[in-house]
Amino acid sequence: MTAIGLRREIDRFEARTPRSRELQKEAVRWLPGGSSRGVHHEPNPVFVDYGEGHYFYDADGNRYLDFILNATSLIMGHANPIVVEAIAEQAGRGTGFVGPNETAVRLARMLCERVPSLDKVRFVNSGTEATLNAIRAARAFTGRHKIAKFAGAYHGSHEYVSVSVKPPAGPHGPDGPPAAAEFHGQPPSLLDDVIVLPWNDLEVCERILRRNADGLACVIIEPIASTLGYAPARPGFLEGIRALTTDLDVLLVFDEVQTLRMSPGGAQEMLGVVPDLTAMGKMVGGGLPAGAFGGRDDIMALFDPRGGAAIPHAGTFNANPMTMAAGEATLKHMTPDVYGRLNALGEMIRGKLRAVFDELEVPAQITGIASFFSIHFNAEEIVDHGSASRDDAELKRALSLGLLNEGIMLGSTICTLTTESEVDELVDTTRRVIQRVRE
C-alpha cells in the first residue's frame, strides 16, 4: 500500500519542483552528484532560494516550515534580525584579521561561564575540526594514540571518527562490535587505533575499555546520540562511562556539536555528567561556519602559543569576527528562559506526534529530549545502532516527501520562533499525509 502512496508523493513532488530539477541537472555537471553535502534527496533535492524566520523558500517559490534548520544549527531560525544585524555590522567593519578580536574573548567567556567542563576554549570553523582537535589534545595529553567511539556515532568527517559510522546492524558478540571502515582507501591501521563500543551496554564497554586502557587516549561520545534519534541513554550509562574513564585515566570527550542546544551548558549541564574535553559547533556560530573545543586548563594549555605551543594549531578563519559576532548575538539571546520555552515545545511535539501515531494505529515511536525529536517506524525500543537502523524506510520516505508536498521539511528540531501553531501544523499535516499514503 505504501509503495503506491510513495509513488503518488514522488509524482506530486516532481510536479512542484521543476526549477529545482533543472538546477540539479546543471549542478551535476560541476559538482559530484550536484552536491558538497552528505545526503542526496531523490528524485531531486530542493534548491533553496532564501530563508525567513521558521521558513525557507525554494527555487520554485514553494514555502517550507523548516524542522531541519540547517542540521539543527539555526536555533533562532533563518535570517533572524538580531543575528543579521550583528553580521551586517561586522561585515561593514571587516570580515577577517590575523589579529585577535574582542568579540571572540566575550564569546569564549560566555561559553566557559555556561558549559561546566570548559576552563578554556579555542574556536575553529566546523564541528569536524572541533572533534579532530579534541582528539588530538587527548592524545598529546595522555601520550597514547588509540581512541574509542561508539558504533553508529557521527562526529564529523575526519579520518579517526570515520569508523563504524554506519556499520552492519547485527547483534554484537561479547567483545563488542568490530571496527568497520567507512570507505575505501582508509589506512588499515585505523581499525587498530579506533576501538568501537556498543551504545548502552556498560558491561561490554567496561570489558573493552579495561582491555585497551594502556593505549587509549580518550572515549568520544555524544551525550545524546543524534544518530539514534536523540533517545537518551539508559539510566546510569553515561555516568558509568564517566566513572570508567576516570578510573582508567582515559580522557572523556563529549561531542556537543548538536547537544549544546539542550541548555545553556549543553547536555553536560542538563544530564549532570561532566567530560574532560568538549567539542562544539553549529549554534556556537549563530548560523555561520563554526566550531569550538575546550576543557580543562591543563589540557588546553597544550595549545598556548606563548613560547611555542605543544600542539601548533593555526587557522585562517579561526575566531573570525563574523562568526564571533553571530555567535555572540545568538548566545546572548539564549537565556535560560528561552531554553526552557524551547524545550517545553520539544516535549509538546513529541507528545502530540505520539498521540497521532497511536490514533492512526501506526507502529511508530517518537524519541528525543529537550528540543530534539525523531520519528521511528519501529515498535522496538531504540537502545543502540541496531535497533535504530530497523525502520520502515519506505513509509519514512513517503512521510518526508508527503510533508514536503505540504510545505513542511521534516527534521529533528525547532527554533526560538516555534510556537504551538507550528507544532500543530506539523502534527496535523503528519496525520493527513500518513492517512493519504496508506490509502
Ligand X SMILES: Cc1ncc(COP(=O)(O)O)c(C=O)c1O
Site residues, ligand X (CB under 6 A): 71, 126-128, 131, 154-156, 222, 226, 255, 257-258, 281, 291
For residue 110, the surrounding DSSP H or E stretch is helix 102-114
Calpha distance 431→404 (Å, rounded): 14
* Phi, psi torsion values for 361, nearest 5 degrees: 55, 45
Task: Give me the sign of the Cα torsion angle 418, 420, 425, 427.
Answer: positive
Of 58, 66, 193, 255, catalytic: 255
Residue among 78 and 352 whose Cβ is closer to ligand X: 78
Q: For residues 362 and 377, is the Cβ–Cβ distance under 8 A?
A: yes
Q: How many CB atoms lie within 10 A of CB 299?
A: 20
Backbone φ and ψ of 281, nearest 5°? -175, -150
Q: How far is the CB of 160 from ligand X (least distance, A)?
A: 13
Which residue in 282, 339, 352, 384 is the catalytic one? 282
Q: What DSSP letter does each residue of 8-27 carry, written as one string? A: HHHHHHHHH-HHHHHHHHHH
In angstroms, give the least distance from the CB of 292 to ligand X: 11
C-beta of 258 vs 405, nearer to ligand X: 258
| Assigned C-alpha cell, 295 | 576543557
Active site residue 50: no
Measured from the CB atom, the residue of 255 and 276 that comes closer to ligand X is 255
Judge whether 172 and 204 are in contact, CB under 8 Å.
Answer: yes
Name residues whose C-beta falls within 8 Å of residue 2's C-beta, 6 or more positions apart in sequence. Answer: 392, 394, 395, 398, 437, 438
- Are the C-beta atoms of 339 and 270 separated by less than 8 Å? no
Catalytic residue among 58, 66, 146, 154: 154
Decide if 154 is catalytic.
yes
CB of 318 to ligand X, least distance (A): 14
Minimum distance from residue 343 beta carbon to ligand X (Å): 19
What is the distance between the alpha carbons of residues 138 and 132, in angstroms, rounded to a whole number? 10
Cell of 210: 579495561
Nearer to ligand X, 290 or 395 (CB): 290
CA distance 404 to 264: 32
CA atoms within 13 A on the CB side of 143: 1
Residue in 286, 270, 284, 272 with CA at minimum distance from that of residue 369: 270
Give the shortest CB-143-to-ligand X separation in angstroms. 26
CB of 439 to ligand X, least distance (A): 36
- Residue type at position 72: T
Among all residues, whose Cβ is closest to ligand X?
127
Which is nearer to ligand X, 68 or 82 (by Cβ)?
68
Can you say whether the dihedral through the CA atoms of 339, 382, 389, 178 is positive or negative?
positive
Residue 2 or residue 258: which is nearer to ligand X going by CB? Answer: 258
Residue number, 8 or 41, with CB nearest to ligand X: 41
Q: Give the list of residues 6+ apart from residue 51 with CB closer than 8 angstroms, or none.
A: 57, 66, 77, 78, 79
The CB-of-165 to ligand X minimum distance in angstroms stands at 11
Catalytic (active site) residue 339: no
Q: Which residues are catalytic?
A: 154, 255, 282
